[in-house]
Amino acid sequence: MTLPAPDYCISLFFLFLQVQLFSRNDPFPFTMIELIDIHKYFGDVKALTGVSLQVNPGSIHGIVGENGAGKTTLMKVLTGYIHRTSGSILLNNEEITLHTPMDAIQLGIGMLYQEPLDFLQLSVLDNFMAGNERFSPETMSRILEKLSKRFGFEMQPDTPLHLLTVGERQQLELMRLIHVGTRVLILDEPTTGISDEQQELLFSALRSLRDEGCAIILVSHKLDEVDALCDQVSIMRKGTIVGHQQQPFNRNAILQAMFDTLPQKETAPARHQGNKEILKFTHVCSSNGRSGLDRISVTITQGEVIGLAGLDGSGQTVFLRIAGKLLEPESGTLQRFAAEDNESDSTDSQTVFLPADRLNEGLIPGMSIREHLLLADETPLVIFPETGRQKAKQAIDKFSIIGTPDTAADGLSGGNQQRLLLALIPTQARLILMENPTRGLDVQSGNWTWQHLLDQMPDNGAMIFASPDLEEILDHASRVLVFFDGKILLDSATSDTDFDEISQAITGRIKACS
């Protein structure tokens, strides 16, 4: 699949909206946000129907619901990104009008997106200063240092942003939002793809901001973090609020409100494992990423489902991208389908890479479902309005995508974007490489994704995925590779290891395997 460059213009647009010329050190003023009977229609599609919600200062309010329930649409209404069809928004009991994101920002409403809005080419300090009309690097560096100490973050101003993990980039974005005066803070799936240590730092920062009077909205599909952080929770389903709870939460009641039927854990199909090599690394070294790879040697055979574990930047992403030939090793050798016509065009067509950043790397914003399917197939020389429409309808039905053939990829929810990516996997694929395949998905969508992947994987192929969720690895992988500082510290069948041993390897407390 083609990996287009990230859309830095969109990032720049949002950053320049968040302009203020002073740093906040005082406690958050009283700020209550209330939504009353919000409706949002996209043509005949009713995305939101009669949503009413109140978020009080000094509280963390959770919003949960399955993918496509309307959570992201509601937050985009609250941040002025899209216009509501009808309904009212009150700030401290006064109705406000939000025509653009700038209107929200000027009122102190800011959002930490699942994909940080930043510039990988610039430094930490450059990103922190972005959006200020006038600034002093020395002053801003001191402010950054003060905020870092306040929240327990480790942030060096001169560090290039591309060396930071997703969790660290979120930390920087959070500090920038606080600096520009955000009083109503919205977080969209903030713990997706970050380490446990970074999650604890984030939770500590959010509790501190809550205690200072900030009104926080946490959009999440992870009930564990909702239970750990939130004071109250609202459940969304099919574009409306179907329930509210205060702490302590009744998890079973939340799940019943979220889904038509309670999610069931699927059983992985029995699969024959052979000796035929699908992928072989021999003394592979790379300096890409934070840790790179340090003389990695490993062989993966047909029928294996390999889970890659490790802290962010430990080497898993570099491993996957070298396996997919998106990066070249600096030394050592890589073989795919070694017993066959290795390194031929046919082996490239049998290898598929699904990135964690679905929209920027896996899909093309602005292009429709139909157009994506046309690109993934043998694209005809001339494309008419009806070309590929029937095939797109069939894919929508087969993969349960909520949309039409003309729906743009960036108009889909995270779960539906993932289903579209799955629809693009060619039938001849034998090596499937994935970064965090259930990132941002609710329980039901995650289970569906895995059932489809395991059902469709050919017996003469293999699957490799990286995930920060050890439960996901233990549930679905037949073998786990644990990375630490560019090395593989543990290589074991999942049936022969457990959570504790994997955790020790993740933190470098065991010796590297030979």
In a domain? residue 117: yes
Look over the chain and give the mean of its residue pLDDT values, rounded to a whole number.
84
In this prediction, residue 399 has a pLDDT band, given cuts at 50, 70 and 90, of confident
Within 10 A of 152 (CB to CB), how many other CB atoms are there? 12
Question: What pLDDT does residue 338 have?
Answer: 72
Residues 470 and 434 in one domain: yes
In a domain? residue 25: no
Residues 83 and 202 in one domain: yes
In a domain? residue 16: no
Residues 160 and 70 in one domain: yes
Question: What pLDDT does residue 234 have?
Answer: 95
In a domain? residue 144: yes
Within 10 A of 483 (CB to CB), how many other CB atoms are there? 27
Q: Six-digit token pair at 445?
A: 């969508």
Q: Six-digit token pair at 353?
A: 């890479």
What does 318-366 look like in DSSP terms, one character per residue?
HHHHHHTTSS--SEEEEEESTTSSTTSHHHHHTEEEE-SSIIIIIS-TT
Give how far Cα 58 sits from Cα of 110, 199, 236, 260, Å: 16, 20, 22, 33
User: Which of these, 41, 50, 288, lies nearest to 162 by C-alpha position?
Assistant: 288
In this structure, what CATH number is given to the domain that contains residue 236? Answer: 3.40.50.300
Amino acid letter for position 203 = F
Contact 239, 70 (CB under 8 A): yes
Q: Give dist(CA 60, CA 38) in Å, integer.
A: 21
Report the sign of the C-alpha dihedral through residues 77, 81, 86, 92, in that order: positive
In a domain? residue 402: yes
Better pLDDT: 328 or 199 = 328
Question: What pLDDT does residue 369 have?
Answer: 94
Rounded average pLDDT over 85-113: 90
Residues 219 and 254 in one domain: yes
Rounded average pLDDT over 227-239: 92
Three-state SS across 98-136? CCCHHHHHHCCEEEECCCCCCCCCCEHHHHHHCCCCCCC
pLDDT value at 24 more than 50:
no
pLDDT value at 18 more than 50:
no
Report the run of H or E that residue 435 belongs to, with start and end. Answer: strand 431-435
Pairing of strands 479-484, 331-336: unpaired
Contact 424, 445 (CB under 8 A): no
Residues 380 and 436 in one domain: yes
User: Which of these, 163, 72, 73, lies nearest to 118 by C-alpha position?
Assistant: 163
Q: Give dist(CA 371, CA 285) in Å, integer.
A: 38
Rounded average pLDDT over 191-205: 80
Question: What pLDDT does residue 243 have?
Answer: 92
Q: Six-digit token pair at 424?
A: 């693009």
Q: Six-digit token pair at 192?
A: 């997706």
Question: What pLDDT does residue 63 have?
Answer: 94
Exposed (0-12), middle (13-18) or buried (19+): which is 260, by Cβ within 10 Å? exposed
User: Which of these, 343, 341, 347, 340, lies nearest to 426 by C-alpha position?
Assistant: 347
Amino acid letter for position 465 = F
Better pLDDT: 512 or 88 = 88
Q: Put the strands of the sheet holding 215-219 in their side by side order.
A: 109-112, 184-188, 215-219, 59-64, 232-237, 240-246
Q: Give dist(CA 65, CA 63) in Å, integer.
A: 7
Residue with tokens 């040697």: 297
Better pLDDT: 232 or 47 = 232
Residues 216 and 326 in one domain: no
Question: What pLDDT does residue 13 have?
Answer: 47
Residues 191 and 315 in one domain: no
Residues 407 and 379 in one domain: yes
Residues 158 and 284 in one domain: no
The tally of domains found in the chain comes to 2
Question: What pLDDT does residue 5 have?
Answer: 45
Residues 380 and 321 in one domain: yes
Question: What pLDDT does residue 1 have?
Answer: 45
Q: Is the pTM of this model over 0.85?
A: no
- Structural domain range at position 303: 277-506
Rounded average pLDDT over 86-94: 92
- pLDDT tens string 405-456: 999 998 887 778 888 998 998 888 899 999 988 877 777 778 888 888 888 8
Question: What pLDDT does residue 225 have?
Answer: 86
In a domain? residue 373: yes
Q: Which of 207, 225, 258 is the last residue of a domain?
A: 258
Residue with tokens 């960036």: 410
Q: Give dist(CA 324, CA 404) in Å, integer.
A: 31
User: Which of these, 51, 11, 73, lies nearest to 411 by C-alpha position?
Assistant: 73
Q: Which of 69-73, 429-433, 442-446, 488-492 has the lowest mean pLDDT?
A: 442-446
Give how far Cα 354 sits from Cα of 85, 226, 367, 423, 431, Å: 35, 28, 18, 11, 11
Q: How many CA atoms lie within 13 A of 327 on its CB side?
A: 20
Q: Which of 258, 288, 318 is the last residue of a domain?
A: 258
Q: Which of 226, 258, 290 is the last residue of a domain?
A: 258
Cα angle 261-262-268, degrees, rounded to a multiple of 5: 110
In a domain? residue 176: yes
- pLDDT tens string 247-305: 999 988 888 888 766 555 555 555 556 678 999 999 999 988 778 899 999 999 999 99
Residues 294 and 423 in one domain: yes
In a domain? residue 123: yes
Question: What pLDDT does residue 260 have?
Answer: 66
Pairing of strands 232-237, 59-64: parallel
User: Which of these, 15, 40, 252, lies nearest to 130 by C-alpha position?
Assistant: 15
Q: Give dist(CA 337, CA 423) in Å, integer.
A: 24
Residues 40 and 185 in one domain: yes
pLDDT value at 21 more than 80:
no
Kindly report whether the peptide bond that precedes residue 248 is cis, defined as omega within 30 degrees of 0: yes
Q: Which of 165-179, 289-303, 346-360, 463-477 has the lowest mean pLDDT?
A: 346-360
Q: Six-digit token pair at 95?
A: 């109705």
